Structure 1
Amino acid sequence: MELTKTLDVPRQFVFEKIVDSGLYDIQQNTGKRPKISSLKGFEYKKKFGSKQNQAGKIRIDDVIEPSVYAFTTTTVRNTFTTRWELHKIDDKTTDVVISETIESKGFFQNLNDSMMQIGLGWIKKRQMRAILDGILKAYNGQ
């Protein structure tokens, strides 16, 4: 899945919002709040699902201020690799490119995930657009 959207928001602001969200998640799951400079390679465990009965490991793959934030989420069934790239258009405009790949473990899981991506891929994109709209609203003070 890939989503590209242009925001009338400076690149640094978008980057800070994305990283703040990651740091908040780390703090909620570990009690620690690492510095941005030490995020690359940082790993932590997280519980997922409405009943928190699923768990996984998140590893921060890349942090390049103010243009890249990438992480990998690994569960018993899948590995999700997510990458945010922020491309400066001018001082007030940023192209945001969000890409996510899924690697499934096992033939049947792969088949199931392929079918689910066809049916639910638009939901994931809608969630990503909502995050970007939230960043835009935060920048505009709404």
Structure 2
Amino acid sequence: MKITKTIDVPRQFIFDKITESSLYDIKQNTGKTPKISSLTGFEYQKNFGKNQSGKIKFDEVTEPSIYAFTTKTNRNTFKTRWELHKIDDQSTDVVIAEESKSSGMVQNINDTIMAFMFGKLKKRQMLAILDEISKAYNGR
């Protein structure tokens, strides 16, 4: 899945919002508060709900332009990458890419079916996050 959208929000504001969420999640799950500059390579264990947990590893965090991480569970590996391209002081091209890899043939078939059924929903959720960031910046 890949989403590209231009929003009227400075790149630094977007970066701050997505890392703010991650830092909160890290604090909740580990009690630690790492600095943004030390996130690349940082990993932690996270519970996702009923009997499901995984490891999150930050692959590349380069302020204010790149935010990439991998989420690994016993069933899947998801790689997510946000690229923030500055257009001008008030506009940013946001590129969000996510790929997943399943563990095992049965899981792969199941995930392919689920991706077909819920792919559009996932894109809508990501676009909704961008809309919320825009509203937070623009006050509407």
Sort the TM-score into its range (normalised by shorter chain). Answer: over 0.9
TM, length-normalised to structure 1 = 0.96
The alpha-carbon deviation at position 53 of structure 1 amounts to: 2.0
- Segments of 5+ residues of structure 1 without an aligned counterpart are none
Identical-pair percentage = 68
Contact 2:37 2:62 in 1 (8 A): no
Output aligned runs, 1:1-142, within 5 Å.
1-49=1-49, 52-142=50-140
Deviation at 1:140, TM superposition (A): 1.3
How many pairs are equivalent?
Answer: 140
Structure 2 stretches lacking a partner, 5+ long: none
Give runs of ≥4 in structure 1 deviating > 3 Å: none
Cα RMSD after superposing both structures: 0.9
**CA apart distance, 1:115:** 0.8
Query: TM-score, with normalisation over the residues of structure 2?
Result: 0.97
Q: Whole-Å Cα distance in 1 between the matches of residues 7 and 112 of structure 2?
A: 31
Task: Give the secondary-structure state (helix, strand or coil) at the position aligned to 2:33.
Answer: coil
Q: Counterparts of 1:134 and 1:30 in 2: how far apart (Å)?
A: 27
